[in-house]
Amino acid sequence: MGGMKEQQFKPYIPKQAMLMPAHLMPAHLDEMIPEGHLARVADEMIDRLDIAPLKR
């Protein structure tokens, strides 16, 4: 009653295989993003985040 709910986070799996027909898209989203793209910088920063304080 009125208590705080436990935090739930969705898993972050950027290199997971995509479920699309091979003729429409590459098997991995990583193949669509060129080297040096800002999305790769964001990916690296997210990998380094410490979310332990958020789980308290």
Condensed to tens digits (0 to 9), the pLDDT of residues 5-47 reads 777 777 777 666 666 666 676 666 777 888 889 988 988 898 8
* C-alpha closest to that of 30 among 51, 16, 12, 49: 16
pLDDT at 17: 66
**Quick check: helix, strand or coil at residue 34?**
coil
What is the rounded CA–CA span in Å between residue 55 and residue 39? Answer: 26
pLDDT at 38: 93
Whether the CB-CB separation of 27 and 20 falls below 8 Å is answered with no
Which amino acid, one-letter code, is at 23?
H
pLDDT at 22: 65
What is the rounded CA–CA span in Å between residue 25 and residue 28? Answer: 8
Return the domain boundaries, the chain.
Answer: 7-56
